[in-house]
Amino acid sequence: MSIHLTIMGRVDTTSPPIKLPLAAGEVRTGFPSPADDYLEGELNLVEHLIKHPSATYFLRAKGTSMEGVGIYDGDLLIVDRSVEPKPGHIVIMSVDGELTCKRYSIMGSRHYLFAANPEFRPIPLEGRECQLWGVVTHNIHALAPGFTV
């Protein structure tokens, strides 16, 4: 299927929230601007990234089939089982017993999974044993060399 997934675990709803500083203002990705010298408040990443803790789990992605949407080998995916998949959503699905991460699509009356890498063919779902494992809501991707998520 081209991308392998490792289940990392579920959200721990019993641990106390960890609040991290949230800088006020925005950071420009174009021309530099003067930095704001104050904090806006605190941000609880679990509260911000996870809407349904009891239905959410983490997976580690492995492979290159979803690089076109920014999911790279080793990235940590946040998956919500309570979200109803719609065309265009990135989903985790078991197809014929193998887990895969792909973009869900409907063409005519047929359902497909599409990779975000042109080297991989679409996967027609008709006539296959399929089980939805959830919708990928966020991707945590390390940018600094030597850092992993």
Active-site residue list = 65, 102
Considering only CA atoms, which of 102, 148, 145 is closest in space to residue 125?
102
CB-based burial label for 134 (10 Å; 0-12, 13-18, 19+)? buried
Maximum alpha-carbon separation in the chain: 59
* Nearest CA-CA partner of 1 in 103, 123, 104, 139: 123
User: In sequence order, which ranges of the chain are alpha helices (DSSP H)?
Assistant: 45-49
